[in-house]
């Protein structure tokens, strides 16, 4: 049911029941890195860049990008509990069959640069200040290929208006997709939006993984199934 303040979320919130170790991660480690909605950009250091990943899925890109760029701060948003538990597993090194005894901490080589919003990102949007983000990643979003489901696609005029407000001028929105309909839809909606410009400079650069790329679960699935992902960067004017 729609309410005025809570947008409807169409995806899955939970899959299989979590094993004991992953439940322990959700119960005792997630609270340590959960975002403080009163101050969503509160990090224990002054970051060079603040990045947001929307719908991080199993967390491979978020865990990898944040490990490779320790001076950046990251907000990761995901609704799917099993995905969040997987991110926590990547960040702590705790696997689902491990016995937990004692406090759970970040892997010793990781910096404390990730905060998690375990709900629909649209609920956090109003609390993110204007011009505050350097990078936003939207990687392999649900394509909702049927025409009647098109309003559910994350790239839409309402979300673009918010992204234009919270991304700094010069900041970048990166969208990756393996779906032809979503690719054309994104290019069209972004072209219609006066606040962003596609950065592609030659016919092919958007067909290759960018330099700082970390592969995601959905990307690997797409490649296995013979689809070719595209990587679209849009700069905030």
Ligand X SMILES: C[S@@+](CC[C@H](N)C(=O)[O-])C[C@H]1O[C@@H](n2cnc3c(N)ncnc32)[C@H](O)[C@@H]1O
Q: Which residues are catalytic?
A: 142
DSSP helix/strand/coil, 158:
helix
Beta-strand pair 133-139/114-117: unpaired
Q: Based on CB atoms, which residue is closest to ligand X, 104 or 179? A: 179
Helices (H), 53-120: 60-68, 81-92
Burial (CB count <10 Å: 0-12, 13-18, 19+), residue 181: middle
Interaction of residue 222 with ligand X, rule CB under 6 A: no
The nearest distance, CB 120 to ligand X, in angstroms, is 4
Q: Interacting stretch for ligand X, rule CB under 6 A, among 29-37, 76-84, 103-111, 162-170?
A: 76-84
- The token pair that represents 156 in the structure block: 């839409």
Residue 156 CA to residue 216 CA, distance in Å, equals: 23
DSSP helix/strand/coil, 153:
coil
What is the 8-class DSSP label of residue 207?
A: G
Residue 102 CA to residue 81 CA, distance in Å, equals: 23
Q: Interacting stretch for ligand X, rule CB under 6 A, among 21-29, 119-127, 179-187, 198-206?
A: 119-127
Interaction of residue 19 with ligand X, rule CB under 6 A: no
Interaction of residue 122 with ligand X, rule CB under 6 A: yes
Interaction of residue 229 with ligand X, rule CB under 6 A: no
Q: List the strands of the sheet with 230-236, edge to edge.
A: 114-117, 73-77, 50-54, 133-139, 167-177, 230-236, 196-198
Interaction of residue 62 with ligand X, rule CB under 6 A: no
Residues 83-112, interacting with ligand X (CB under 6 A) = 83
Interaction of residue 76 with ligand X, rule CB under 6 A: no
Cβ(143)–Cβ(153) below 8 Å: yes
Interaction of residue 11 with ligand X, rule CB under 6 A: yes
Q: Based on CB atoms, which residue is closest to ligand X, 54 or 190? A: 54
Near ligand X by CB under 6 A: residue from 112, 142, 195, 197: 142
The nearest distance, CB 141 to ligand X, in angstroms, is 6
Q: Interacting stretch for ligand X, rule CB under 6 A, among 29-37, 67-75, 116-124, 177-185?
A: 116-124
Residues that bind ligand X (CB under 6 A): 11, 54-58, 77-80, 83, 120-122, 139-142, 154, 216-219
């Amino acid at each position: 049911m729609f309410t005025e303040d809570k947008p409807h979320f169409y995806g899955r919130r939970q899959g299989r029941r979590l094993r004991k170790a992953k439940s322990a991660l959700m119960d005792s480690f997630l609270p340590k890195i959960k975002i403080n909605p009163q101050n969503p950009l509160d990090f224990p250091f002054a970051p060079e860049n603040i990045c947001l990943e929307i719908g991080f899925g199993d967390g491979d890109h978020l865990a990898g990008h944040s490990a490779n760029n320790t001076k950046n701060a990251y907000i990761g948003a995901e609704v799917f509990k099993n995905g969040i538990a997987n991110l926590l597993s990547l960040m702590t090194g705790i696997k689902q069959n491990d016995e937990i005894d004692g406090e759970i901490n970040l892997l010793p080589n990781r910096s404390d640069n990730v905060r998690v919003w375990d709900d629909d990102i649209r609920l956090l949007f109003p609390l993110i200040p204007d011009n505050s983000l350097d990078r936003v990643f939207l990687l392999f979003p649900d394509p909702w290929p049927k025409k009647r489901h098109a309003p559910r696609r994350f790239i839409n005029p309402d979300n673009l208006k918010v992204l234009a407000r919270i991304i700094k001028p010069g900041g970048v929105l990166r969208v990756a997709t393996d779906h032809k309909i979503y690719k054309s839809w994104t290019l069209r909606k972004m072209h219609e939006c006066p606040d962003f410009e596609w950065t592609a400079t030659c016919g092919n650069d958007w067909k290759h993984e960018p330099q700082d790329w970390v592969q995601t679960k959905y990307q690997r699935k797409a490649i296995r199934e013979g689809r070719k992902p595209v990587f679209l960067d849009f700069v905030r004017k």
